Amino acid sequence: MPLTLTPDQAAFLQGTLSMNVGAVGRDGWPCVTRAQGISVARDRRSLTVLLSAARGQAVLDALAAGSGITLVASRPLTHATLQLKAARTGRVPVTAALRATSARCVAAFGAELASLGYGDAVTALAAILSTDTLAALRIVPDIVFDQTPGPQAGTVLARA
Amino acid sequence: MKLTLEAIRACLDGGLPSVVATCAPDGTPNVAYASQVHYVDGEHVALSFQFFSKTRENVLAYPYAQVQVIEPASFRHFRLRVRYLRTETAGPLFEYMKAQLAGIATHSGMDKVFVLRGADIYRVLDIECADPHVPAAAPPPDALIALRRTLDHLGACDDLAQLADRALAALSYGFGIRHALLALLDTQPDNAGPGKTGPADGALYTLASLGYPTSGVGAEVALGEGLIGVAARERMPVRINHRTGDYTYQAALRVADAAAARIPLPVLADAHSQIAVPLVHGARLFGVLYAESEQDAFFGHADEDALVVYGRHVGALMARLAALPDDETAVPAPAVRAPRGTPLAVRYFAHDHSVFVDNDYLIKGVAGSILWTLLNEHAANGRRDFCNRELRRDPRLPLPDFGDNLETRLILLQRRLAERCPQIALEKTGRGRFRLDVTRPLALSTN
């Protein structure tokens, strides 16, 4: 039975987050890249993750070769963290709406970092996480973990 | 040009969270945040092991991982391909990471959550910059220039008291350090001697300080406790870049005997950056130089390197001063007036050699024992002039046969008296010689 994210999880994933996606390359090396936006589907059974194709080429290559995907999303202010895993993922077209989602997520992330004392974050992140070479990945999660730091990290919250 | 770990050390100070990607035996990727990615040397980093996590399970089964770190000032991301080697659960690296983690934990609001179980050592196989088009951060102030400027101000020193004061004052010129102290090791008789490079236990005593409302001279730090004690015990520098809520590393560093009378350390109540470096010469540890700041990340990796070199230089100067012979004669004594006024009540407690004057704690330990001996000699036959050589031979003093730090104890005593009991003074009358000046009558008693 497919996994359905809770409304709280969906809201969290579309909030102010630091996010990274990982995969395993054909050569067996794990790889990771920063993601820059999440859009949860209306039925909460899938989500679209946005990342820079230029910065994340190794991850995209690994996914194209059949690797599973891991997404870790954390709120800088609270450290509340979710991890989602899926056996398969697929590229989808980058729409104007997704591009706007990415711009909003990057701006929110930068503003939160600035509020935490990293004053140059807004400008720097806009340069690093530009929307020029966005790639969009559709993920149907198989499992969701609580990854908030602490002994409970790794607790399974939902499973397909 | 191939990237080196040295070139990205700013990423390895716990400023912005790092992530680590690993692979499960079935090929499933895992990504997790790493509280601490610590620079070990040019080829290795250490990750903090705090919980039995999926990351740890994965690397124990399949040791290859990728770590993503961020340069705080530029936000450039770097990816390190690493191979897990081993876990250390004790020793200098573990202690350093434990202290740093305490700072990171408080900085990130995770005081109660972050507890170091081990330091996972990884060999770095490759480093990639994920953002080659983004300009690098401006380089930090040149620590080598700061060191040179500091040494210029330190100059040559004729005695230990002068060296201690100038070693601290010079830091403000070179590194802009406004708060610092020197704590010198009190060698224990059972552990000192040829072939024994240091005590297994013992304490450090504050000999001089810079930039505090009270000097804290005589304040004690137990070996292995707090940043100063850990730096001494492990003979390594320890640097914390953020304010720590962990009491172990806070200002209220614990003393060897919490129930005993003590002098508080004069450190900042809310330090955001702290560094402690050992003062060593060869195998001998003389003490620890401690500096702190109200600013986050005040001390960088390069500052740590430079201060370690400075600590060795000061250690070498201390060794040179300790090896100089005593003067044969003292400077002539001026005429003195007989002590006048109400007698000072000086009470001695033999069990810990503590001395109280008019019921106020003055000093204890070997320094207390020295003072008591001098005052009794003065009371018995009016003697004022003394030399270090006779104190070393005096069976009443609990001095070790080797590495007695007598000069340190005398400076400590001299400064404590100047602060708390100026009616009794020790005046230096030559190398290894000093004079006792008493301006009030004394009423000596023991407990």
Q: Given an 8 Å threshold on Cβ–Cβ distance, is B77 in contact with A79?
A: no
SS3 A81: strand
Chain B hits for A83, Cβ within 8 Å: 30-32
Q: Given an 8 Å threshold on Cβ–Cβ distance, is A153 in contact with B51?
A: yes
More confident position, B255 or A57: A57
B52: left (phi over 0), alpha (psi -120 to 50) or beta: beta
Q: Which amino acid is at B79?
A: R
Could you give the CA distance from residue B361 to residue B355 in angstroms, rounded to a whole number? 6
In a domain, A156, yes or no: no
In a domain, A158, yes or no: no
**Any B CB within 8 A of A89 CB:** no
Provide the number of structural domains found in chain A: 1
Contacts of A77 (CB under 8 A, 6+ apart): A16, A112, A115, A116
Can you state the percent helix, strand and coil of chain B, rounding each to 5?
30, 30, 40
* A18-24/A69-74 β-pairing: antiparallel
pLDDT reported for residue A15:
95
In a domain, A120, yes or no: yes
Q: Nearest 5°: CA angle at A115, between A110 and A119?
A: 65
Contacts of A47 (CB under 8 A, 6+ apart): A5, A13, A38, A39, A40, A41, A84, A138, A139, A141
Could you give the CA distance from residue A131 to residue A98 in angstroms, rounded to a whole number? 10
In a domain, A18, yes or no: yes
Instruction: Take residue A11 and report the two structure tokens written for it.
Output: 């809201």
**Most A-contacting residue of B16, B18, B20, B33 (CB-CB within 10 A), to test interface:** B33
Chain A hits for B20, Cβ within 8 Å: 32
In a domain, A136, yes or no: yes
Asked if B124 and B73 touch (Cβ cutoff 8 Å), the reply is no
Asked if A82 and A19 touch (Cβ cutoff 8 Å), the reply is no
In a domain, A152, yes or no: no
Contacts of B323 (CB under 8 A, 6+ apart): none
Instruction: Take residue B12 and report the two structure tokens written for it.
Output: 């390895």
Domain region containing A39: 7-147
* Number of CB pairs, chain A paired with chain B, less than 8 A apart: 110
**Any A CB within 8 A of B17 CB:** yes
Instruction: Take residue B287 and report the two structure tokens written for it.
Output: 């003490």
Radius of gyration of chain B (CA): 25
- How does the average pLDDT of chain B come out, rounded? 86
DSSP-assigned letter for residue B337: P
pLDDT tens-place string over residues B242-289:
765 554 554 334 444 445 567 888 888 888 889 999 999 998 999 999
The helix-helix angle for B160-175 and B301-323 (nearest 10°) equals 160
Instruction: Take residue B178 and report the two structure tokens written for it.
Output: 């406004």
SS3 B270: coil
pLDDT tens-place string over residues A129-154:
887 789 999 999 999 999 988 778 88
Give CA separation, A147 vs A80, B30, B159, in Å.
7, 11, 58
Instruction: Take residue B260 and report the two structure tokens written for it.
Output: 């005993």
Q: Nearest 5°: CA angle at B432, between B428 and B438?
A: 40
In a domain, A155, yes or no: no
pLDDT reported for residue A128:
84
Distance of CA A125 to the CA centre of its chain: 16
Of the pLDDT bands very low, low, confident and very high (cuts 50, 70, 90), residue A104 is very high
Q: Which amino acid is at A101?
A: T
**What average pLDDT values come out for chain B (447 residues) when binned by 10 residues?**
90 86 96 90 93 89 96 92 96 86 62 77 97 87 95 89 95 96 76 40 87 90 85 89 56 44 80 92 94 91 96 95 80 75 92 91 89 92 88 81 75 92 91 90 90
pLDDT tens-place string over residues B46-75:
998 887 789 999 999 999 999 999 998 888
Q: Given an 8 Å threshold on Cβ–Cβ distance, is B32 in contact with A83?
A: yes
In a domain, A154, yes or no: no
Domains and CATH numbers, chain B: 6-129 (2.30.110.10), 143-323 (3.30.450.40), 344-446 (1.10.10.10)
Is the model's pLDDT at A124 over the cut of 70? yes
**Any B CB within 8 A of A154 CB:** yes
CATH number of the domain where residue A103 is located: 2.30.110.10
